[in-house]
Amino acid sequence: MDWSLADRPLRLSRGAGVVPTADGFLLVTPGEDFITIDVEPDRRDLVASLLSGDLSPDAAVARDPDAAGLLDVLADEALLAEEPEAPAGPVALLGDGVLVDQLGQLLDAKRTDGIGGAALVVACADWLPDGRWCRLDAECAAAGIAWHRGYAEGGRWYAGPLSVPGAGPSYADLRLRRLAASPFPDELLAYWAWLDSGGRPAGPPDPAGAAVVAGLIAADVRAYLAGRPVPGERTQYGLDPASGVLRRHPVLPVPPDLMVQAP
């Protein structure tokens, strides 16, 4: 790496730690590995200033060329935080319920009424709005906009999968696969229709579960907008707050004409 361009304070990866020792420093990686760095006494103040961010990499190398070797080690061990990438565009936050506020804070997004101008849409609901999301799925596909979703069903919370037009599973794909896998597809459709008509289960969904799925959705959204691999790609998360069990359900796009919903 050309450390002469590194004129800003050093930033370690989230979760990394620097522990002073008698011989130098002990680096704790985010994965809880340990790296021992022996440093001569007369160089420890410089290295400490570098690791704490008080001294920029180029200033440290200018004062001590051997600091470049330490910087290379930090880079090789993925201990240097990557520069945050500018978002590809705004996030449209749709819907209502306990999940909206959680995601609004995590994504620095405000609730909107439409998808115009959005780089990505996140739809929230306390209970599944099947008809509304069928329409939103078609609208996002036509506009070429990816969208994510979170809702509760019974005592569980569900998140995803992220739907990327032409690439990831759509809501229509998820819906077909749920009906195909259910031993009670007619009853499931009747339940969704009841929710669409304004029916509601007893009591609101557990807000603790909303906090967890909000974090999962936010991680996917941030990765997608930054062009990084999406942690929950082609995955629907299912969380049971009562038991603390989180399950990952793979969801694949349905090949055209392979499965259709019977009238």
Task: Answer with the residue of higher pLDDT: 131 or 61.
Answer: 131
2 SS3 class: coil
pLDDT grade for 2, boundaries at 50, 70 and 90: very low
| Euclidean distance between CA atoms 30 and 27, whole angstroms | 10
Burial annotation 17-47 (CB, 10 A radius, 16+ → b, else e): ebeeeeebbebbbeeeeeeebebeeeeeebb
pLDDT grade for 108, boundaries at 50, 70 and 90: confident
pLDDT of residue 67: 87
The H-assigned helical ranges of the chain are 44-52, 57-63, 67-76, 98-107, 130-143, 171-181, 185-196, 207-226
pLDDT over threshold 60, residue 3: no
Task: Answer with the residue of higher pLDDT: 92 or 31.
Answer: 92
Query: Are residues 53 and 10 in contact, defined by beta-carbon separation less than 8 angstroms?
Result: yes
Query: pTM of the full predicted structure?
Result: 0.80
pLDDT grade for 261, boundaries at 50, 70 and 90: low
Query: What count of Cα atoms within 13 Å lies in the side-chain half-sphere of residue 174?
Result: 25
